[in-house]
Amino acid sequence: MGTIQQALRMSAPYWAAEHEIALRYFGSSARSTVSDKVWIGHQMFKEWTGSGVYGPRHTTVASMIAEVAKEVAPLGQGAVAPSPLKSTYTKLSFASDELRHYAQLHDLFLLIESATPPPAIAELGNLREGGALTELRLGYRDDKLGAIAVDLSEGGGLGLYFGIRSAKDLLDLTSEVDREVLAVADRTIEDETRHLLGRFQAARDAGLDEEQWGRVSEILEEISRQKLLERDEQFGGMLTAGEVAAVCASENRPRTAAFLTGHLSFLLDYLGMSPVDL
């Protein structure tokens, strides 16, 4: 048995752990130009390819824009759109958001070290746990409940970017790189908070019963755990294996509650949840 609120409770501990990874990384002596290029490069890859969240395998921002161009090109000759025109615009809007996120990360990558251009997109995505996350999501996408869980898993509750914002006092704001890291986080939060709420609204509108929500929650927890493994690899292993295994342990509940109430209060309000529900 389950509810949409239960789905949030199942995934939120992993989101809070992503927030913890960012805090540790930006306060760590292990942070370097090389490690910054690893995490930013992998984030570029995720924005460009969708990491299994949208489209068929091998979909990219470029392929989505090409699809839109193919759909709208005949309209100038008086043709009728091959699909509802609103769906074409929605696809373009989504691709535009992903391209904007990719572009700001690309420019940040070059700001760190302009002498070496970014390698091919595929090379930026060479993280074992990231590949496993993509395959896990793709394996669930053809199932209705799995697709809902995959959609809800996108962005990891913005744990990374809220973590960067929380690490502001650990950044060197006299550095152009660190100022831009913070600016990227702020711009992404501005975009993705709207998307996060929209994903939960769409899931609620799916009309699932308690048993179906129970299954969605189970899948979402599985994906969220793999996403945390990806995030930990992306940042060089800020969490121990024991800490990853204990993410949902009772001693970490205050961390989860603090993350939700401190950063996602708008989502709690929408779901009618309060701190005592966490």
Read off the tokens for 38.
């690893």
pLDDT value at position 192? 87
Torsion of CA 161, 163, 169, 175, to 10 degrees: -40
DSSP state letters, the chain = ---HHHHHHHHHHHHHHHHHHHHHHHT-TT--HHHHHHHHHHHHHHHHHGGGSSSSTT--HHHHHHHHHHHHGGGGGTPPPSS-HHHHHHHHHHHHHHHHHHHHHHHHHHHH-TTS----HHHHT--HHHHHHHHHHHHHTTSHHHHHHHHHHGGGGGHHHHHHHHTGGGS-TTSHHHHHHHHHHHHHHHHHHHHHHHHHHHHHTT---HHHHHHHHHHHHHHHHHHHHHHHHHTT--S-HHHHHTTTSGGGHHHHHHHHHHH-HHHHHHHT--GGG-
What is the rounded CA–CA span in Å between residue 153 and residue 273? 19
pLDDT value at position 81? 58
Q: Which of 6, 27, 16 is nearest to 264 (CA)?
A: 16
What is the rounded CA–CA span in Å between residue 88 and residue 73? 12
Angle among Cα 226, 126, 103 to the nearest 5 degrees reads: 95
Residue 231, judged by CB atoms within 10 A of its CB (0-12, 13-18, 19+), counts as buried
Range 250-254 contact pairs with CB under 8 angstroms and sequence separation of 24 or more: 252/13, 252/16, 252/17, 253/13, 253/278
Half-sphere exposure of 65 (CA within 13 A, CB side): 11
List the pLDDT tens digit at each of the 278 positions of the chain. Answer: 579 999 999 999 999 999 999 999 999 999 999 999 999 999 999 999 988 888 778 889 999 899 888 888 777 776 665 566 778 888 888 888 889 999 999 999 999 977 777 678 878 888 999 999 999 999 999 999 999 999 999 988 999 999 999 999 999 999 999 999 999 999 999 988 988 999 999 999 999 999 999 999 999 999 999 999 999 999 999 999 999 999 999 999 999 999 999 999 999 999 999 876 77
What is the rounded CA–CA span in Å between residue 239 and residue 228? 10
Q: Does domain 4-277 match CATH 1.20.1300? A: no
pLDDT value at position 45? 92
**pTM for this structure?**
0.91
